[in-house]
Amino acid sequence: MEYYYKIQPMRTYLKFQSRNACFLAIFLSPIISGGIALYGEDTNTPPANAAPAGSLVSNGDFSTASNDPSWPDNWSKGAGISWETENGKHFLRLTAQKPDQHLMAYREIAIPPGVKSLVITIRYRTAGIVTGTEKWYDARAIFHFMDDARKTVPTDPPPMSFRTDASDWTVATEQCVVPDGATKLVLMPSLFKVQAGTLDLAEITVTPATP
């Protein structure tokens, strides 16, 4: 499958090499109706706390804190990661602590048997990002597939680069094929070796899709 994306404040280019345009319309319809926009939606308010039906990411909107009232369920704590609230909605904030650090919000997601394709959607914003010594040392999400033994399964989905000037909430999405033997998807939204800056995460969904 060939695809690329580029998110801009007013429009997004999204390309899938699919069978035909009818397939694309059928594929997008349930996702959009579930409250996820694939076209670079920018707003000043984080999304509603209710996660879209069908997402494999529990507490992907960071709204539930039943185990620890100071931290969202299913998300690990770490230096440089804080749980924030804005306009009554919750989100995670990653703040670079020092140059060249890899700071991430790590999750492992179980892939149901028979699922051959996934759509990954992340709603984010950035502030003050100063890229590192390489141009791809930036704000991004990194993904890995693993098997039941937690060994890496090739081939990984391509990283999802986030705009460094996304001052409003912005949606990034990509579709990936699940390789044979993969039973888990590792999600790592990250500040990858940046010099400075913050990355806010308002919602993360992973949804089974038709290849």
61-108 pLDDT, tens digit each? 999 999 999 999 999 899 999 999 999 999 999 999 999 999 999 999
DSSP reduced 3-state for 95: strand
- The predicted model gives 164-184 an average pLDDT of 97
Query: Mean pLDDT across the chain, nearest whole number?
Result: 81
What mean pLDDT do residues 180-209 have?
Answer: 97
Backbone angles phi, psi at 27, to 5 degrees: -65, -40
- Least-confidence region, from 14-18, 137-141, 142-146, 172-176: 14-18
Give the least confident one: 50-54, 75-79, 155-159, 189-193: 50-54
Strands (E), the chain: 3-7, 12-16, 81-86, 89-95, 101-104, 107-110, 117-130, 139-146, 152-153, 160-161, 170-177, 184-194, 196-208
* CA nearest to 61, candidates 49, 76, 44: 49
Can you give the pTM of this predicted structure? 0.75
For the segment 6-60, what is each residue's pLDDT rounded down to a tens digit? Answer: 333 333 333 333 333 333 333 333 333 333 332 233 334 444 433 455 899 999 9
